[in-house]
Chain A
Amino acid sequence: MNEKLSLTELQLIIKDSLYIALPDMYWVIAEISEIKENYNGHCYLELVEKHQDEINIRSRVKAVIWSSRFRFLKSFFENATGESLREGLKILVRVKIEYHEIYGLSLVIHDIDPSFTLGEMALKRQQILKKLEAEGVLTMNKDLDFPMVPQRIAVISSRNAAGYTDFMKHLTGNNYGYVFYIALIETPMQGNETEAGVIKALEKIAGHLEKFDVAVIIRGGGSQTDLSWFDNYKIAYYITQFPLPVITGIGHEKDLSVTDIVAYQSLKTPTAVADYLIECMIIAENHLIGMSKEIIDRSLLILEEIKIRTDSARLKLIPVARTMISGFKEELSGIIIDMINTGKEYIMRAGLFPANHKSRLISGTRSHLSVNSSSLTGRKQSLASHSRSFLNNTNNKVAVLENSLKILDPENVLKRGYTITSLDGKIIKKRVQLKKDDMINTRFSDGSVSSKVV
């Protein structure tokens, strides 16, 4: 070993040896521990393999994806997985081993297999879900009662996220005039701070539970839609234990994160979350309108029934009224008999009055005549005749009246076959005036009989 090599010569020997020894491309499984895209579009990574404890590193190597390849691989990977290439992600890549005299060993990535990453993510998700299930908490948030009116909303998001703006616009501009109250609790929605941030936000809401109806986790739109930040055991566990229903709109088309799975309701976009909340309000209002209509209909029905009942009562009343009327008739005939008696008395008095009046008139006239002697003889004659005709007239009227009253006289009424019933001298006009064992007197035209009520 006398030959001395320059460093470059050595590096070139290594380079050539590696090239000869490892001429092919290899599929390699690794985890990204660092990744950055530089100004000219090349992507530099550090790949690692960890021990089973997931902390200590077993091996490490630099890697690069040249810009021409990176442009394609980046979108290919993102489209397939919904994830961007980022640290912490496990990938399967096809690499060529290169050695550079200045930069040393690195793996040049030519291809990537997104299905491996998808499988890895699904596996991780499954592990978290299994753990939550084993703990018996998996569906706890889903089991909560959802408020009829989800009006007071705690939003976990970042203010500048397009998703939050969409959500607010959609919710506050709803076509129905529903009022929503929104408190935004800001937190990073991706990156390493996601876990701690979301949990802190949930804790803050938990401190004011009575002020909220529902909690919403949204982020939005954009190309950066790394779902796996929400495939997080701690966030998921906290949600299962959260006393308010949680709705997610994390904005992922393809898959559900663990956070989505444990939430009360998961929707694809923040706009869909807003729609969901508005829909709840519509259902509540429709329920009100339905009940209101039902109450009106039922009440009208009851009123209609009452009207029908009143009408039928009226119809039933007619025979009752008839009976009453015949009762009244009897009563009336009694009253008429009374009236006749009274009338007779008046007539008798009336008969006396003209006689009395006549004698007074005559004597009065006489004394008048004796004072005014002959000049008044003519007048006396005419006065006398007038007086006489007046008296005759009166007498005639009285006779007519007497005659007509005779027909109505109870005696005559009795003669026509009617009887008068009395109890203790009082005329009985109604059945109710009598009770059992009363001794009643029945007057016929030719006399009376007594009888006992049985």
Chain B
Amino acid sequence: MVKKEFSFNQAVSEIEKILQEIESGEMDVDRLSVEVKRASELIRQCQKKLKSTEEEINAIFKDLA
């Protein structure tokens, strides 16, 4: 099973896009709440990527060295 790899860069550009849209002020309350929810989920995933170990990568790296 190939898990789709989470891309930090992609997540960050998506968050940046959401922020831009919010800044443009062209967002109604319903969309705002959806987008804020999405952004907070992406931020959570990014934080996780920075600070929690993925055993999968550890295993691959053991084989490489």
Contacts and interface: CB of A to CB of B under 8 A. Distances in A.
B50 A181 contact: no
Contacts of B51: 176-179
Q: Majority SS of interface residues in chain B?
A: helix
B57 A285 contact: no
Interface string B46-65: 11011111100110110011
A295 B36 contact: yes
User: What bracket does the count of chain B residues touching chain A fall in?
Assistant: 20 to 34
Interface stretch (A100-108, A146-154, A240-248): A146-154
Contact of A298 (B23, B54, B61): B23
A243 B8 CA distance: 19
A295 B22 contact: yes
A19 B49 CA distance: 76
Contacts of B53: 179
A453 B36 CA distance: 56
A298 B60 CA distance: 42
A183 B64 CA distance: 6
Contacts of A178: 50-51
Interface string A286-302: 01100110110011001
Which residue among A176, A281, A284, A292 has the maximum number of chain B CB atoms within 10 Å of its CB?
A292
A299 B32 contact: yes
A303 interface: yes
A337 interface: no
A149 B8 CA distance: 7
Which residue among A183, A295, A299 has the maximum number of chain B CB atoms within 10 Å of its CB?
A295
Contacts of B60: 211
Contacts of A295: 15, 18-19, 22, 36, 39-40
Nearest to A149: B8
B65 A184 contact: yes
Given A288-B46, A291-B15, A298-B19, A181 B40 contact: no
Contact of B57 (A181, A281, A291, A306): A181
B36 A288 contact: no
A303 B64 CA distance: 52
A208 interface: yes
Contacts of B29: 302-303, 306
Nearest to B65: A183
B50 A149 contact: yes
A168 interface: no
B55 to A, nearest CB: 11
Contact of B40 (A211, A292, A302): A292
A285 B50 contact: yes
A161 interface: no
A112 interface: no
A14 interface: no
A184 B65 CA distance: 5
Interface of B: 8-9, 12, 15-16, 18-19, 22-23, 25, 27, 29, 32, 36, 39-40, 43, 46-47, 49-54, 57-58, 60-61, 64-65
Given A185-B64, A288-B12, A295-B19, 7 more contacts: A149-B8, A152-B57, A181-B58, A183-B61, A281-B50, A285-B50, A295-B22
16 contacts: A148-B9, A151-B49, A152-B57, A152-B61, A176-B51, A177-B51, A181-B57, A183-B65, A284-B12, A284-B46, A291-B16, A295-B15, A298-B22, A299-B22, A299-B36, A303-B29
Which 8 interchain pairs have the tightest Cβ spacing? A183-B64, A298-B22, A183-B65, A183-B61, A149-B8, A177-B51, A179-B53, A181-B61
